[in-house]
Each structure stands twice: as structure tokens, then as C-alpha cells.
Amino acid sequence: MNEFSGKRAALHTLGCKVNAYETDAMQADLKAAGFEIVPFSEKADVYVINTCSVTNIADRKSRQMIHKARGRNPGALVVAAGCYVQTALEKTKLPVDADLLIGSSSKGSLLTEIRKWVKDHPERWEGDAAEAISRPLDQSICVSDLRQEHRYELLHLPERWRRTRAYVKVQDGCDLYCSYCIIPYARGHVRSRPLPDLLSELRELSDSGTRELVLTGIHLSSYGVDFPGTDGFQKKGAWQERSQLIELIEAVSEGTGIERIRLGSLEPTIISEESAKRLSEIPELCPHFHLSLQSGSDTVLKRMNRHYSAESYLEKLDILRKHFDDPALTTDVIVGFPGETEAEFQETVRFLEMAELFETHIFRYSRRAGTKADRMEGQLTEQVKAERAEVLEEMSRSFRERYIERHIGKPAEVLFEEPEGAHTPNAWKTSRDPVLEPSQPDQETEKVFGGSENTPESGGKSYAMPPEGAKTYAGYSREYIRVSMSSSEDLRGSIRSGVLRRPR
């Protein structure tokens, strides 16, 4: 169907990987209807902004992108979709200067809503920009009440999806209500994707060349808690006991042909001896786990409404390290939460020193209207937040280097994605990414690693500059260490085994 042939559409994504998946699905629908997809920086007939509302900064960026779209073509149909729209209408009451508003659980209706808008506004659709500017904003709204929404909205990537790594949404919503977080209001209750629908899409991705899958969700650990039991009724017990995430991963491993599986952010309380053992028995699962922390202080965790202690979090790390050989463990930390004292901050510092994580993503607390934390006393200054963030960022860089150093000289399996650009000697010399030395080098890689008589010696190993015309490719090990390799061969989408070395 080419009903919109000759029309141009541009899309822009803000926020998380779930949003990115949803944008890809919406783009596929628009393209199938005849729209030419163009970069957001170009003039288009339809602009779709998939918004984010996780922080005040995200709110501001969402508004900015809506205004940019309006400025690029005043006569265009501007669509705002997602979390900012949902919270603006139901919680924050912030302005949304767009023609068509699509809620978080209505993105699959984008094309239908565009058809309705075109039918209702023929003069706008075919009119000129000057005429459009003179008219008052007449908004069309497709936003459902998420408090009453228990249906998972099915979205799909295009059939011939050609990417080495695919982020695939399997779950929506969150029922935990952390005191700093607006997302339960932006995304609603937990809703899980039916397994048969997911496996069908993953088989198509595998057939199209996808080699690595990242399972994503708003609260991934809650996958399946909303599924009925064998008796047809809602299952009882704590959500961790009702989660079917492990069963999901096992099914993906057994029935899709995907070679590598990664997981999005996990709630630490889902990790147990049993779950870690089952995960360790899935050969496709990469030893890379992101366990959300937020603070290493028990008193701060309590104010955040996080349901674990710093000590129990460390126990989860120990369990994973018991069942996996030096896995890459990463986390998030919020600095400057309301009332965070210097003593509480130092508790987080000491905690991270004990945890020795691969990477820690540091966020400065951002007030969110409509959350409990926004009303708390003891709001910290931006200067204090920045100072504390700098301390933790320096720690994170140090621990990251230590982790990488432990893997230098060890076997690695790297999935290469894209070339970093034309090779230059300076780039080769200054790159800090580990280099993959192939296990069975071909003639080309022998030139790089095998040591011709004119190559310099270092550490008992000969290295040479890559051959003329070679490109440097970037990829990731199973632990998610960024690795580079230079070759005249096209390495995109290939998995290579070898040993990690420091660049020379």
C-alpha cells in the first residue's frame, strides 16, 4: 500500500532502548504506507518525536525537538508520542505543542491516527506553511488511561531487519514506584509480551542476519508476572516468584537461532542461587549483567523506596561471580538524592570500592514533579551533585580499566559491527581499545600480528601497523568490552575468536 507515496516522514527518539525499538517499529509502519523516511534534520511532511520523561532534562529535550520540527516545516504534521505526552496529560500538566498526541501504549496506532488527522484536516495536509501558521493549534489526542491498561501493545520490527545487534522489547510498565521515578505513571502497569509472538520475531531477525539480541523492557525482571497461572487466575506470591524471565531466556536460547543474548537492566532481587545457575547453563547468554543499584547507603535506599540493602546487593554480585567466570557487572547510581548527607555519600563510595564493578553509570538526581522525592526536604544544590558525580565517575574509570586489564592476554570472542573509519597511524597508536589477536590469523592478520622482520618488538610479541587500505573495526566481547581490529577484510557482522592485547 502506497497511500502516502511522495510524502516524507522523519522520526527522532529520546530516551531508552525500549523507545528506540518502538521508533523502529513506527518507522516500519510509515515506510510500508509509502512514506519516504528522511533524516530529522531535513524538511518532511510528518515529524514523529518519540519523547522521554525520565528527568526534567528529558522533558525539556522533548519540548525542544517538537519546536525544532515545527521550525523546519511549519506546515508539517508534528506528532509527539510516548512518555512526555502521557505524563503531561495525566500528571505534570506540561505543554505539548504538537498536532497529534500519541500515548505510551498507543504507538501501534500511529498510522491509523495519521489517516484520521489527514481526513479531518485536508486543508492543512495540502495547504501551505503560511496558512498553517495562521491557524490555532487543533490537537488530536490518542492517549489511553494507563491505570486501566493491562494489554501489551504488539509492535514489530520490519521483516528484513539487517542489523548485527537488535534491541527487542519484551515487556512494558512498572509497579515498583521508586520515590524518584515518574515512569510508572508514564508507562503504566506491568504488561508482558506473549512468548509465541516474540519468538516469531526473533526467528525473522536471525534469518535476516542478526547475531546478538538485547532483551529490553521498562522493568525487564517483571516479565511474565502478569501472565495467568495454569488455573487461569493471577498467580500469587512476590513478583520475583512470579517472574518468568528465566523461562523466556531459555526459550529464546532453544528456539530462535540467535547466537548471543544480552539482558537489559535487572532488579537485583531477582538474582538467586537457582536463577544464576540456570542462567549460567544458557550458552548464548553473555556474562554481562546490569543490576540497578542507585545508592550504596541503606538509609538513602529506604528513602528511594528500593527494596534491598547494600549488603544484600553485594550478595547478588557474589552469586553471579560464583556461577560466571569474572562477569562484567555494571550498575546505575544517583548522586544528590534529597537529604543525602556527606556520610551517606561516603557509604556509597565505600560500597563501590567493595563491589569493584566493571562500569558505573552516574546520574545526578533530577527532580520530577509528581513524584514523592520532589516533595522531600533537603534538596541538594547542583554544585554538590556535580562534585559527588565527579568522584564516582573517576572511580568508575579506574575500575573499568582494572577489569579490562584482567582480560588482557585472555581468550575472547568478539562480534564486530562497524568500521571506525579509514585507518590512520595515529588512530592506531592512540586507541585505548584492546585489540583482538586472532586465534588462527589469515594472511592479512598475520601482517598485523605476526611480526615481519621490520616490525617493532614489544613484550616478546611482534606487532606491525595494519596494511595499507585496512579499516579499523569496532566490536564487543561477550563481556561487553569494546575491542578493535584492523583488516582489509569486511568484518561487519562477523564473530572472531582470539586473545585480547593492548594496542601498540
The answer on pLDDT for 488 being more than 70 is yes
Question: What pairs with residue 328 in β-bridges?
Answer: 288
User: Which band of pLDDT confidence, cut at 50, 70 and 90, is reported for residue 234?
Assistant: low
Q: What is the pLDDT of residue 183?
A: 93
Q: What is the pLDDT of residue 319?
A: 98
The answer on pLDDT for 205 being more than 80 is yes
- Single out the residue of 415, 386, 412, 389 nearest to residue 474, CA to CA: 415
Portion of the chain with pLDDT greater than 70, in percent: 88
Output the CA angle 370-374-376, nearest 5 degrees.
135
Q: Give the mean pLDDT of 189-195.
A: 96
Q: What is the pLDDT of residue 459?
A: 46
Q: What is the pLDDT of residue 17?
A: 93
Q: Give the mean pLDDT of 310-333.
A: 98
Q: Give the mean pLDDT of 307-311.
A: 96
Q: What is the pLDDT of residue 346?
A: 98
The answer on pLDDT for 333 being more than 80 is yes
Output the pTM of the full model. 0.88
Q: Give the mean pLDDT of 61-83.
A: 94
d(CA 24, CA 9): 13
d(CA 463, CA 312): 46
d(CA 160, CA 204): 8
Output the CA angle 337-342-344, nearest 5 degrees.
65
Q: CB atoms < 10 A from the CB of 236, how many?
A: 8
Q: Give the mean pLDDT of 252-276.
A: 95
Class at the top of the CATH hierarchy for domain 8-144: alpha beta
The answer on pLDDT for 132 being more than 60 is no
- Helix, strand, coil shares, percent, the chain, to 5: 40, 20, 40
Strands 77-82 and 46-51, by their bridges, are: parallel
Burial 39-76 (b: 16+ CB within 10 A, else e): ebeeebbbbbbbbbbbbbebbebbbebbeebbebbebb
**Residue type for 245, please?**
L
Q: What is the pLDDT of residue 236?
A: 72
Q: CB atoms < 10 A from the CB of 283, how many?
A: 9
Q: How far is CA 9 from CA 1, 43, 69, 132, 409, in A?
A: 16, 9, 11, 18, 49
**Residue type for 111, please?**
L
Q: List Cβ neighbours of 279 (8 Å cut-off, separation of 6 or more).
A: 246, 249, 285, 323
Q: List Cβ neighbours of 459 (8 Å cut-off, separation of 6 or more).
A: none
Portion of the chain with pLDDT greater than 90, in percent: 71
Q: Give the mean pLDDT of 187-209.
A: 94
**Residue type for 481, please?**
I
Q: Give the mean pLDDT of 455-459.
A: 42
Fold of 146-274: Transcription Regulator spoIIAA (3.30.750)
Q: How far is CA 111 from CA 29, 114, 120, in A?
A: 7, 5, 14
User: Which band of pLDDT confidence, cut at 50, 70 and 90, is reported for residue 139?
Assistant: confident
The answer on pLDDT for 334 being more than 70 is yes
Q: Give the mean pLDDT of 78-97.
A: 89
3-state secondary structure of 263: strand
Q: What is the dihedral of CA 154, 155, 157, 158, to 10 degrees?
A: 90
Residue the block writes with cell 561516603: 346
**Residue type for 254, please?**
E
Q: CB atoms < 10 A from the CB of 277, how many?
A: 13
3-state secondary structure of 329: strand
Of the two residues 345 and 428, the one the predictor is more confident about is: 345
The answer on pLDDT for 57 being more than 60 is yes
3-state secondary structure of 374: helix
Q: What is the pLDDT of residue 457?
A: 41
The answer on pLDDT for 469 being more than 80 is no
Q: How far is CA 74 from CA 65, 71, 114, 127, 252, in A?
A: 13, 6, 17, 11, 46
Q: What is the pLDDT of residue 444?
A: 41
The answer on pLDDT for 440 being more than 70 is no
For the stretch 142-170, pLDDT in tens is 998 888 888 999 998 876 667 899 999 99
Q: What is the pLDDT of residue 308?
A: 96
Task: Please name the helix (run of DSSP H) or strand (run of DSSP E) that holds residue 63, with its range, or none.
Answer: helix 56-72
Q: Give the mean pLDDT of 443-464.
A: 40
The answer on pLDDT for 4 being more than 80 is yes
The answer on pLDDT for 423 being more than 50 is no
Yes or no: domain 287-407 corresponds to CATH 1.10.10.60:
no
User: Which band of pLDDT confidence, cut at 50, 70 and 90, is reported for residue 453?
Assistant: very low
Q: CB atoms < 10 A from the CB of 9, how many?
A: 25
Which residue intervals of the chain bear CATH 3.30.750.200? 287-407
- Single out the residue of 292, 373, 298 nearest to residue 336, CA to CA: 373
For the stretch 17-42, pLDDT in tens is 999 999 999 999 999 999 999 999 99
- The region of weakest confidence among 97-101, 129-133, 404-408 is 129-133
Question: What pairs with residue 436 in β-bridges?
Answer: 500
- The region of weakest confidence among 283-292, 354-363, 395-404, 482-491 is 482-491
Q: What is the pLDDT of residue 426?
A: 35
Residue the block writes with cell 523466556: 248
Helix axis angle, 310-323 relative to 273-280, nearest 10°?
Answer: 30
- The region of weakest confidence among 127-141, 149-163, 210-224, 395-409 is 127-141
Q: What is the pLDDT of residue 275?
A: 96
d(CA 360, CA 353): 11
User: Which band of pLDDT confidence, cut at 50, 70 and 90, is reported for residue 317?
Assistant: very high
Which residue intervals of the chain bear CATH 3.40.50.12160? 8-144
The answer on pLDDT for 89 being more than 90 is no
Output the CA angle 360-315-398, nearest 5 degrees.
25
Average pLDDT, the chain: 88
Q: Give the mean pLDDT of 236-240.
A: 80
Under DSSP, the state recorded for 336 is S
Q: What is the pLDDT of residue 314?
A: 98
Helix axis angle, 273-280 relative to 245-255, nearest 10°?
Answer: 10
The answer on pLDDT for 496 being more than 50 is yes
User: Which band of pLDDT confidence, cut at 50, 70 and 90, is reported for residue 135?
Assistant: low
Q: What is the pLDDT of residue 238?
A: 84
Q: List Cβ neighbours of 176 (8 Å cut-off, separation of 6 or more).
A: 184, 219, 267, 305, 307
